[in-house]
Amino acid sequence: MNDMSMPDQTPAISARGLVKHFGEVHAVDGIDLDVPRGMIFAILGPNGAGKTTLMRMLATLARPDAGTARVMGHDLIEAPQDVRAVISMTGQFASLDEDLTGRENLVMLARLWGFRGRAAKARADELLGAFGLSDAATRQVKDYSGGMRRRLDIAASLIVTPGVLFLDEPTTGLDPKARQSVWRTIRDLAESGVTILLTTQYMDEADQLAERIAVIDHGRKIAEGTSRELKTATGSGFLHVALADPTRIDDAAGFLEARLGGGVQRNVEGVQLSIVAKTPREATEALRALIDAGIEVADFSMGSPSLDEVFFALTGGAGHAATRAAERTDREAVAGVRE
Amino acid sequence: MNAAVSAMLDRTPPRVQRPATPSALSNALVFGWRAVLKFKHVPEQLFDLVMTPIMFTLLFTFVFGGALAGSPRDYLQIFIPGILVQTVVFNAVYSGMGLSTDLSKGLFDRFRSLPIWSLAPFAGLMVGDVLRHVIAGAIILSIGLLLGYRPEAGFAGIAAAFALLVAIGFGMGWVFIVLGLLIRTPMTVMTLGFTFMFPLVFASNIMVDPATMPGWLRAFVVVNPISLMATAARALMSGTATFNQLALALTAPVVLTVLLAPVTLWLYRRR
């Protein structure tokens, strides 16, 4: 909080070449990141891509093996305590004391931040009210629902309004209603000037919330841009076609590839084809031509690119993100234990 | 949409600036307060803590007491100070378990990302431990007094013995704090802790006079730090303590603190 003389010139986060290894696992393998103040910035990637490790480094919880970073102008390595004074982090797993009540959790944190006696209680009650938890204030956190826990966890990160709020997979495991309310909170916070860096494995979450998205895989940033930019890189969407007669799948694949360009992906059962269509119009025309050619379509749909498809496009089809994610979850679990 | 969610949607959390930086002591006291709240919300933890020693006291006094010391009442004079040492030592195992639980839940990640004195959570842990030692010790002592235990040195002796117990608990605590930091499954910490502590406690002079033991075992029992602690606790409560006894009793706690406090720091700051 000392160098507030030029508060708006320095970016919220500026990282160069961050690296973190856990033994043989290159969790983060040289990442640059620039996040302007007041922005919602999403780090998108499958499980084990290095999202959490990257965030833990920026939140001073893990020491980078190489690279530098400044958070709100404070050096991560030289002045971690200054960084801590201007950030808050809500981890993937509720960082709350389950045995204490919601109110006691917030009062405890308020006291740690320096609020005394009555002021600490007042701040706790204020946040409980703002997050719709007043009725549950005197209940132990272990009796909270998943959504309530997440709200309390976010409230716990707002005892003092942070410069940067780190949210690690803020909506994983939440029902749609709770998810919406967390999204709304995130938007409100960003509007009030808080910079938000969040990780997610959901394309739609990044799409809905973030002004900029960095796509991370294997500890490296493979793309960065606005949601629109990423989608353009991927194609506006995927055309999924199911055939009435599966024996004609090779004909249909060849036909669609010729018509739309690019490669066709086949689903496991071999009855559905997916291909990038740049515009809905192009997709419609391709479908009509397919039917005119006598290949009967049982069903079709047009979808925004999924995370899988973004990866497919960005990595040039080097394998399915979901498959890799499954392989790497174990590695992250191992890395987690070592941390 | 339920009331809670809509309430959340309607209001933006108010913005707040950081108040003046609190002192390290104030940070530590907050964690001490947390330990006290735990007694309120999880009174069972105290139950676990005192049930074993109470059971031991009753069993040993009435089943073995007559055979070991002539009468149950005579046995209490030897046994109570010893069982107090055992209580404090086992207590430390639970403390390591608590730390392991905290670490496995990500709570310490929040603490570590706060701009607070980095050792405050441990200082708080110690405050909780001291309280637990004193509460559990007081319960065991009361039962002993009810059954007929009479410490010759009276209140002063009891107070001195409790001070020694707290020092022992503090020293032994490091072993289990280190285990708690290294092992992320609380049950494993407990199993390891008791596997390590049971032989140490039984092969001591807490329950039985080592004079009746075979020579090889006696050789171990007389240098077992637990025996030295029990001897000093007895001496303090009967008013016969010597400087030598106290120094021997405190050797293990001091050595453990000197060796393991830096290890704890290193493990905690390792990131």
* A289 and A191 within one domain: no
Q: Is A336 a member of any domain? A: no
Q: Is B251 a member of any domain? A: yes
Q: Which of A180, A196, A231 is the last residue of a domain?
A: A231
Name residues whose C-beta falls within 8 Å of residue A174's C-beta, 6 or more positions apart in sequence: A146, A147, A150, A182
The closest of A64, A111, A99 to B120, measured between CA atoms, is A111
CB contact under 8 A, A178 and B5: yes
Distance CA B79, CA B73 (A): 10
- Residue B109, classified by CB atoms within 10 Å of its CB into exposed (0-12), middle (13-18) or buried (19+), is buried
* A286 and A194 within one domain: no
Q: Is B15 a member of any domain? A: no
Q: Is A328 a member of any domain? A: no
Q: Count how many domains chain B has.
A: 1
Tokens of A27: 């969790």
Strand A13-22 relative to strand A40-44: parallel, antiparallel, unpaired?
Answer: unpaired
CB contact under 8 A, A91 and B110: yes
DSSP 8-state assignment for residue B22? P
Looking up tokens 């120094």 gives: B247
CB contact under 8 A, B30 and A191: no
Prediction pTM value: 0.78
* A156 and A20 within one domain: yes
Mean pLDDT across chain B: 87
Q: Are A216 and A227 in contact (CB under 8 A)?
A: no
Q: Are A213 and A225 in contact (CB under 8 A)?
A: yes
Q: pLDDT tens digits, residue range B118-156?
A: 888 888 888 888 888 898 899 999 999 999 999 999 999
Nearest CB to A59; choose among B13, B19, B113: B113
Q: Is B55 a member of any domain? A: yes
Q: Are B77 and B209 in contact (CB under 8 A)?
A: no
The three-state secondary structure class of A56 is helix
Q: Is A332 a member of any domain? A: no
CB contact under 8 A, B18 and A178: no
The Cα of B88 is separated from the nearest Cα of chain A by a number of Å equal to 23
Distance CA B239, CA B78 (A): 14
* A184 and A292 within one domain: no
Q: Is A70 a member of any domain? A: yes
- Residue B39, classified by CB atoms within 10 Å of its CB into exposed (0-12), middle (13-18) or buried (19+), is middle
CATH of the domain at A268: 3.30.70.2030
Strand partners, A31: A18
Q: Are B103 and B184 in contact (CB under 8 A)?
A: yes
**Chain B residues interacting with chain A (CB cutoff of 8 angstroms):** 1-9, 11-22, 26-27, 30, 33-34, 37-38, 41-42, 102, 105-107, 109-116, 120, 184, 271
Distance CA A161, CA B167 (A): 41
Q: pLDDT tens digits, residue range B20-57?
A: 888 888 999 999 999 889 888 988 877 878 888 899 89
* A259 and A150 within one domain: no
Domain that holds residue B128: 24-269
DSSP alpha helices (H): ranges in A200-279?
A: 203-209, 227-234, 249-260
Q: Is A86 a member of any domain? A: yes
Looking at residue B97, its pLDDT comes to: 85
- Residue A185, classified by CB atoms within 10 Å of its CB into exposed (0-12), middle (13-18) or buried (19+), is buried
Q: Is A314 a member of any domain? A: no
AA identity, residue A209: L
Distance CA A47, CA A311 (A): 13
* A171 and A28 within one domain: yes
The closest of A76, A80, A75, A70 to A37, measured between CA atoms, is A70
Tokens of A233: 């890189």
Percent of chain B with pLDDT over 90: 47
Mean pLDDT (10-residue bins), chain A, 339 residues: 54 94 89 94 90 94 94 94 93 87 96 93 94 94 91 93 94 86 91 93 86 92 86 72 85 85 74 80 87 87 69 57 40 37
Distance CA A167, CA A148 (A): 16
CA distances from A276 to A9, A244, A298, A306, B95 (A): 41, 21, 19, 12, 58
The Cα of A128 is separated from the nearest Cα of chain B by a number of Å equal to 9
The Cα of A314 is separated from the nearest Cα of chain B by a number of Å equal to 32
Q: Which of A168, A197, A231 is the last residue of a domain?
A: A231
> What does B79-126 look like in DSSP terms, one character per residue?
HHHHHHHHHHHHHHHHHHHHHHHHHHTTHHHHHHTSSS-TTHHHHHHH
* A92 and A20 within one domain: yes
Looking at residue B4, its pLDDT comes to: 45
Phi-psi category of A114—alpha, beta or left, where left has phi over 0 and alpha has psi -120 to 50? left
* A209 and A138 within one domain: yes
CB pairs under 8 A between A and B: 144
Whether the ipTM is more than 0.85: the answer is: no
Q: What residue of A is the nearest CA neighbor of B271?
A: A62
Q: Count how many domains chain A has.
A: 2
Tokens of A109: 């944190």
Q: Is A312 a member of any domain? A: no
CB contact under 8 A, B38 and A99: yes
Q: What is the mean pLDDT of residues B203-209?
A: 91
Q: Is A102 a member of any domain? A: yes
Distance CA B212, CA B107 (A): 50
* A241 and A224 within one domain: no
Q: Are A276 and A260 in contact (CB under 8 A)?
A: yes
CATH of the domain at A84: 3.40.50.300
* A249 and A193 within one domain: no
* A257 and A221 within one domain: no
Looking at residue B122, its pLDDT comes to: 85
- pLDDT of B230 > 70? The answer is yes
Strand A40-44 relative to strand A212-217: parallel, antiparallel, unpaired?
Answer: parallel
Domain that holds residue A65: 13-231
CB contact under 8 A, B8 and A132: yes
Q: What is the mean pLDDT of residues B59-70?
A: 90
* A175 and A117 within one domain: yes
Distance CA A293, CA A318 (A): 32
The three-state secondary structure class of B195 is helix
Q: Which of A190, A214, A231 is the last residue of a domain?
A: A231
